[in-house]
């Protein structure tokens, strides 16, 4: 490379290094994320230019078709009141009144304090499941002698996939072999597949508490526990996001319905995981459902959980994890949890049919 070109490249790299440091000082997210934010902000700024004319056209169409508004009004009223309006064809005054009623109702709704969205309003069934076998490739995860987390999670994931498919679920896996798949790529894959839920499989390692063995399930949420923060930082290593970036990202996520659904899913998975394994692993502790900001939980669009299905640091449990029948038992327990959550979501639909 010519000296002049080297100097030019050096100057540019130096400027970029300084810019990166300034971004860190200012607490800005990584560059890739800022681009996305800028796109979102641009979209939000320009959205009214598109949405306002569309709303105006829609309003004019409603004005011209009072009977359609009336029909909507009938559907939203109690049955007795609806039957009064239903019999005669609409007059202009009735149309006007029903329009005003509708508008008043809409304004009233705006004035009412916002309540959390309950997912019971959306009785959707779970059909497509993303299974994420933790670690892989150059990232071995936790290890104990010849036992490596990436192999254990892949095997359990494969067993769970077969079980889910045999029972009518569609399954998307983030990895099907021992390969390196970055965390962001896993989340991207899950979002692109438009799956209903996301289940990430991991194995715990508590190097300072080797006698401890238990199971726990995480869903997305803030935590004040330094141990969980460290765990999330370890699992998120290589994602390109810091925990500070995550917290900013999460501001808008923690309060939504997805978190509640994730908690439900985590509860179902944790219950079945502990119930299903405690007979084979006496003394297995139930460490419960916990919140932590793992990247795969933040960046996925659907209810998402991360299950720590065992403790590789515990000698006895590590020995059990080497046995295929125990890994099958874990897969069965995870299936039971997913199935239980899916059944609960299907319930309102089934009642109505």
Partner 1 sequence: MPKPEILHVGIDLGTSRSAISASNGERFVVDSFVGWPVDMVAKKVLKRNVLIGHDAVANRTMLDLHRPLERGLLKEGSEKDVEAVRELLRHLLGLVGVSTNGKVAPGSVRAVVGVPAAALRTNKQYLRNTMKGIVDSLMIVSEPFAVAYGLDALLHTLIIDIGAGTSDFCVMKGRYPTEEDQRTLTIAGDSIDTHLLQLMEERFPQANVTVFMVRDWKEKNSFVGEPKQRVTVTAPVKGVPTELDITNEIRAACETLLAPTIETMLDLLSRVEPEFQERVRNNIILSGGGGLIRGLPQALEDALKQVGGGRVTYMEDPVFVGSDGGLALANDAPESDWEKLSA
Work out whether strand 147-148 and strand 214-219 pair parallel, antiparallel, or are unpaired.
unpaired
Quote the longest CA-to-CA distance of the chain: 89
CB of residue 79 vs partner 1: minimum separation in angstroms?
57
* Token pair in block for residue 4: 């002049």
326 close to 249: Cβ distance less than 8 angstroms: no
How many other C-beta atoms lie within 10 A of the C-beta of residue 299? 22
Under rule CB under 8 A, how many of the chain's residues touch partner 1?
40
Out of 240, 257, 260, 287, point to the residue binding partner 1 (CB under 8 A). Answer: 240
Bridge partners (DSSP) of residue 128 are 170
Tell me, residue by residue from 117 to 156, as one string, x for binding to partner 1 by CB under 8 A and - for no binding: --------------------xxxx----------------
CB 244 → partner 1: shortest distance, Å?
5
Q: Which of 180, 256, 315, 316 binds partner 1 (CB under 8 A)?
A: 180
Q: Could you say whether residue 242 binds partner 1 (CB under 8 A)?
A: yes
User: 29 or 303, CB closer to partner 1?
Assistant: 29
Neighbours of 255 (CB within 10 A): 12
Structure tokens at 259: 């978190």
Q: How far is the CB of 289 from partner 1 (least distance, A)?
A: 25
Identify the residue among 13, 47, 72, 82 touching partner 1 (CB under 8 A): 13
Closer to partner 1 by CB, 194 or 237: give it.
Answer: 237
Distance CA 310, CA 333 (A): 12
Q: Which is nearer to partner 1, 168 or 226 (CB)?
A: 226
| CB 325, min distance to partner 1, A | 28
**Between the CA of residue 317 and those of 66, 220, 228, what are the distances in Å?**
69, 27, 21
Contacting residue, 230, 316, 323, 350, with partner 1 by CB under 8 A: 230
Site residues for partner 1, window 18-47 (CB under 8 A)?
18-22, 24-25, 27, 30-32
Token digits of residue 121: 């309003």
Tell me if 9 contacts partner 1 by CB under 8 A.
yes
Question: Two tokens at 128?
Answer: 């497509």
Closest approach, Cβ 21 to partner 1, in A, equals 5
Regarding 4 and contact with partner 1 (CB under 8 A), the answer is: no
H or E stretch covering 130: strand 128-133
Handedness of CA 264, 265, 269, 275 (dihedral sign): positive
Q: What is the DSSP string of 207-259?
A: TT-TT--EEEEEES-----HHHHHHHHHHTTTSS--HHHHHHHHTTTTTSHHH
Stretch that binds partner 1, among 73-81, 97-105, 235-243, 340-348 (CB under 8 A): 235-243
Q: How far is the CB of 174 from partner 1 (least distance, A)?
A: 16
In the complex with partner 1, which residue's Cβ is closer, 292 or 330? 292
The footprint of partner 1 (CB under 8 A) covers: 1, 6, 9-22, 24-25, 27, 30-32, 137-140, 180, 226, 230, 233, 236-245
């Amino acid at each position: 490379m010519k000296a002049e070109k080297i100097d030019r490249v050096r100057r540019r790299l130096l400027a970029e290094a300084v810019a990166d440091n300034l971004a860190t000082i200012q607490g800005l997210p990584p560059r890739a994320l800022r681009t996305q934010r800028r796109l979102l902000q641009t979209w939000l700024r320009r959205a009214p230019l598109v949405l306002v004319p569309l709303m105006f056209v829609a309003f004019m169409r409603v004005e011209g078709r009072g009977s359609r508004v009336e029909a909507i009004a009938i559907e939203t009223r109690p049955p007795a009141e609806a039957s009064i309006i239903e019999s005669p064809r609409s007059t202009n005054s009735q149309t006007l009144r029903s329009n005003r009623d509708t508008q008043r109702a809409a304004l009233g709704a705006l004035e009412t304090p916002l309540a959390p969205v309950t997912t019971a309003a959306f009785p959707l069934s779970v059909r497509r499941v993303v299974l994420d076998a933790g670690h892989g490739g150059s990232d071995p995860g936790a290890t104990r002698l010849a036992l490596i987390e990436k192999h254990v999670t892949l095997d359990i994931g494969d067993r769970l996939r077969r079980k889910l498919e045999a029972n009518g679920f569609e399954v998307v896996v983030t990895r099907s072999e021992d390969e390196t798949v970055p965390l962001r790529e896993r989340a991207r894959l899950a979002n692109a597949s438009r799956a209903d839920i996301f289940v990430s499989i991991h194995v715990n390692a508590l190097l300072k508490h080797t006698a401890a063995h238990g199971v726990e399930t995480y869903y997305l949420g803030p935590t004040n526990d330094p141990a969980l923060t460290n765990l999330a930082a370890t699992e998120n290593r290589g994602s390109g996001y810091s925990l500070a970036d995550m917290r900013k990202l999460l501001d808008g996520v923690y309060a939504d319905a997805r978190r509640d659904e994730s908690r439900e899913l985590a509860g179902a998975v944790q219950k079945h995981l502990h119930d299903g394994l405690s007979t084979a692993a006496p003394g297995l502790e139930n460490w419960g459902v916990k919140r932590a900001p793992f990247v795969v939980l933040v960046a996925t669009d659907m209810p998402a959980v991360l299950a720590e299905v065992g403790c590789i640091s515990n000698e006895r449990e590590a020995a059990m994890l080497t046995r295929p029948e125990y890994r099958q038992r874990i897969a069965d327990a995870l299936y039971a949890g997913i199935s239980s959550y899916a059944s609960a979501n299907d319930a309102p639909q089934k009642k109505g049919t």
